[in-house]
Structure 1
């Protein structure tokens, strides 16, 4: 094969549509646009969803609900959950394995709800100011 012998497969290339070049071309006079009306005119078209002045579907339907995508990846657990878990070292993987946070969770935070008497070390898990104070009072730490 030589560079000068390369050509596209048969049927891959076809002639560009030439409108307004006489009746014999099949696209003369109105150029395939039909007669009169907004669609036949240059620059005369409408936006997506326009229904000719009728109230569009997206405006007729009621607005309902909203689900934040950030909530899917953020999770929180309580001091009571940590107490029940009973592990000395807690990270995100341990919490997922215990079923305390969903599998999709990326950011986990401990909130101050309940009591904690175990010394727990948090690794890669955040904590609120109150929760951090409670964990440190019980002899644990937040890394």
Structure 2
């Protein structure tokens, strides 16, 4: 390997191609567009996926089934272990307090509390959904559950 070859031909700030500046420039007359045809005309551009008359790939591949992901509810899942870390004893855990702690970022339709981890603090948890194990752990620690609509 020749070290000099590594950076040969690489330019950080490349000058733009100045077309239509005479035969000597190499980009005169047709300005790199060739003779006639669609590409030589003004306003010519290919749409994404155009394969030049051949059947496009996205039409060749079979399409099956239905995906409902665009319409499904976006659920924010939070484990009890995270509540143990972020909140102190006697706190109220609500969507607003979760956002203040940086746990509820972005857009979501509902919050679900999951039972992964241990909980020893007495918390009042307000959420849309609870897993059975999360419910048991919160009530066992002396806390309470409030379901939001």
State the TM bucket, normalised to the shorter chain.
0.5 to 0.7
Pairwise CA distance, 1:131: 0.3
User: Does the alignment pair 1:121 with 2:132?
Assistant: no
* Residue equivalent to 1:59: 59
Structure 2 residue runs without a partner (length 5+): 1-53
1:94 CA displacement:
1.1
Out of 119, 136, 140, which is 1:137 matched to?
A: 140
TM-score by length of 1: 0.52
Contact 2:112 2:127 in 1 (8 A): no
Structure 1: runs of 5 or more not aligned: 1-53
The 3 A distance-change label for structure 1 pair 70 and 100 is farther
Map 1:103-122 onto structure 2 (within 5 A): 103-122=106-125
- Between structure 1 and structure 2, the one with the greater Rg is 1
Check conservation: 2:120, 2:141, Cα contact below 8 A. yes
Q: Deviations over 1:73-108 (max 9, x none)?
A: 311000111001214101111112211122202300
Alignment of 1:79-94 (within 5 A): 79-87=80-88, 88-94=91-97
Shift of 1:72: 7.1
**Alpha-carbon offset, residue 62 of structure 1:** 8.3
State the number of aligned residues.
90
Question: In structure 2, what is the equivalent of residue 96 of structure 1?
Answer: 99
Per the normalisation by structure 2, the TM-score is: 0.50
